[in-house]
Chain A
C-alpha cells in the first residue's frame, strides 16, 4: 500500500489521523524530509505518529517534524510503533522545542546611525590613546626618579630590533627616493640651466620632509605592527596579567622600553635616511647633471642649513612617540579572540601612518610660521 520512497504520508481523518513516517530520517536528507512534511497537509488537531517503517531518526529530523507539526497547529497525540531509541530521540527534542524559538534578529542601523557609532568609537579611541599617553609619561617620570627601574636589557633588545635591523630597508628606500627625486628635479632644472639648485632641493627635501615621513611609515609598518602583535599575544596568553600579579608594572616592563627604544631609534634612522638619500642623489647627479661629488658636497654644505636637518629629527622624535603609543596601546587592549590581533595590528599601521602624515602637515605650517 505504501510506496517505499515516500518519507511520510497521512492516513485517516479527525481523531484517527495518523502520520506514517518511513525510511532514514537523517540530517543528510533534511531538505527532502522538510519538503515532504510541508506537503503532507497535516490537520490542525492532535494526530498519531507511526514509526514502524522508520529505519533511522535523528534529532535534526525530529526537530523538522515537530516544528512542521507545530506550525500546522497539530500536536502529537501518541507515538505508535516507534522503537525505544526513536521514542527517546523524539522526547529529547520535544523537551527542548521551546529553546529553539528564534530570537529577534540583531538590529540594523541606518547610515546616519552608523556614522554616529563610528564617531563615538573614534572619540573613545582618541580618549584611550590620550589616557595611555598620560600613563606612559607617568611611567617615564618614575624612571627619571628611579633610573635603576629602567630595564636596560629589554631596551637594548628592542633597540636592536627597531633600529639596527631596520637600517638596511631604510637605506635602500631612501637611496632610491634620492635617485628618483634628483632625476625628477634634474629634468626640470636642466631647462633653465639651474642644475646646481637640484642639490639644494634634494638636500632640503630629503632631510626636512621625505626622510622623516618615509622612515616613520617604514617603522610604523615594522615596529608599530610588531608591538601590537607581541603585546596582543601576551595579553591573550595572560602573560600581561601574570606580570601584574608578580608585582611588576606592564608599563615599566613592556611599554617604556619600547617607547624609549623607538624614541632613540627613529631620529637615528631619519639621519641615516638623510645621508643615504643624498648619497643616492649624488650617484646620479654626476652622469645626469654633470655635478661632481665634490661640487655636490660643497653645495650641500652651503645650501642646506642645519635648521632643516634639525626640524626633520625633531619631527622624527614626535613620530616615534606616536607610533610607540599607538602600537603598544592597541596591543594591550586587544579583545580575547584570535581575530582581534589581526584587526588591531592592521588598525595600528593605519592609525600610525595617518597620524604621521597629519602631524607632518601640522608641523609644516607651524615651522613655517615660526620661521624655521
Chain B
C-alpha cells in the first residue's frame, strides 16, 4: 500500500459572510486509520466534511482526497472519485420510498457492472457486513429503528467498495449499547476490510473505544491532533472540560478506556 496519506486537508478557510468558520485548517489522514474530528457546536465539523467530499466549496485552501484535488478536479474526475468513498449523513439520508435492499442496490446498479445473478447476494452481503439481520433487506426505512437505519446507510455507503468512509455523528441518537456495537462495526471495517474512516462525533465512548486519532477543531483551527491520550494532555480549557465530564462519571483511573 502507498505511504501517501489518503486525505490531505491544507489550510482550509471558510467564511459565511462576516463569520469565519475555518481559519486555516490542515491535517492529513493515512490509510487504514479511524480519525475523529471533534469540536464544540458551531465549530464547523460538518461543514468541513462537506468541503472534503466536494459538496460545499471552501473560501480558500486545498483538499486532496485519494490522490485527487477535490476543488480543482473536473466533473468526470469528481464522479470517479465519488465512487471511491462513502458518506454516511447524520440521519442516514436513505431513500425513503425504496426498501433497504433497493437503497443498497442503487449505487451498484448505477456505477458497477454486476452480473444479475450476483447483484442480490452482493446487496445482502453489504447488509450483513453492516451488521443488519437478513430480514431488514425487504423493509422500508420508515420501519427501521434509528440504529438499524444508520446501519442500512452504512450498507449503502459500502456498496461500491469504498476506500474511505465519512461519517457525520454516526452514534448520535443511539443508545449506548447500540452505539458500542456500531463502534465495533467501524473497527471491523477498518481492520478487516482496510477502510480509512473519518468521523465527526461527540461521543466520548467512540473516541476512547475505537478511534486511532483525534483532530480537535476550535476557533477555526486545529488546536490538537493526536491519539486520545495525547489530546487529553493538551492544555486547552474547552478540551479539559470536554474530557472532565468523563472523568467525573467514572473516576480518573478509567478515563482512558480500553
Same complex for A and B? Answer yes
**Whole-angstrom distance between the alpha carbons of A99 and B137 in the complex?**
11
Chain A positions 85 through 100: 1 when the CB is less than 8 Å from some CB of chain B, otherwise 0: 1001101110010011
> Smallest distance from the beta carbon of A70 to chain B beta carbons, Å?
10
- State which of A28-36, A153-161, A285-293, A353-361 sits at the interface with chain B: A28-36
Chain A contact residues: over half helix, strand or loop, or mixed? Answer: helix
A residues in contact with B193, CB < 8 Å: 58-59, 88-89, 92
Q: Which of A28, A88, A92, A100 has the most CB of B within 10 A?
A: A100
* A108 interfacial contact with B, CB 8 Å: no
Chain B positions 114 through 133: 1 when the CB is less than 8 Å from some CB of chain A, otherwise 0: 11001011101101110000
Judge whether B97 and A340 touch: CB under 8 Å.
yes
**Whole-angstrom distance between the alpha carbons of A58 and B189 in the complex?**
12
* B181 interfacial contact with A, CB 8 Å: no
Judge whether B121 and A337 touch: CB under 8 Å.
no
Judge whether B97 and A63 touch: CB under 8 Å.
no
* A27 interfacial contact with B, CB 8 Å: yes
Judge whether A30 and B112 touch: CB under 8 Å.
yes
Size bin of chain B's contact surface = 20 to 34
Judge whether A59 and B125 touch: CB under 8 Å.
yes
Given contacts A30-B118, A92-B188, A336-B142, contact A99 B125 (CB under 8 A): yes
Of B118, B137, B192, which is within 8 A of A88 by CB? B192
Which residues 88-130 in A have Cβ within 8 Å of B in the complex?
88-89, 91-93, 96, 99-103
A residues in contact with B140, CB < 8 Å: 337
Query: What number of A-B contacts does a CB cutoff of 8 Å give?
Result: 84
Judge whether B118 and A89 touch: CB under 8 Å.
no
> Smallest distance from the beta carbon of A343 to chain B beta carbons, Å?
9
Judge whether B118 and A99 touch: CB under 8 Å.
no
B residues in contact with A103, CB < 8 Å: 134, 137-138
* A338 interfacial contact with B, CB 8 Å: yes
* A64 interfacial contact with B, CB 8 Å: yes
**Whole-angstrom distance between the alpha carbons of A101 and B127 in the complex?**
12
Judge whether A336 and B161 touch: CB under 8 Å.
no
**Whole-angstrom distance between the alpha carbons of A99 and B120 in the complex?**
11
Judge whether A67 and B97 touch: CB under 8 Å.
no
* A26 interfacial contact with B, CB 8 Å: yes
What is the interface of chain A, defined by CB distance below 8 A to chain B?
26-28, 30-31, 34, 58-60, 63-64, 67, 85, 88-89, 91-93, 96, 99-103, 335-340
Can you report 25 A-B residue pairs in the complex whose CB atoms are below 8 A from each other? Answer: A26-B161, A27-B112, A27-B160, A30-B114, A31-B113, A31-B115, A59-B125, A59-B161, A63-B125, A67-B118, A88-B191, A88-B192, A89-B194, A92-B188, A96-B128, A99-B127, A100-B122, A100-B125, A101-B121, A101-B124, A103-B134, A103-B138, A335-B142, A336-B96, A339-B96
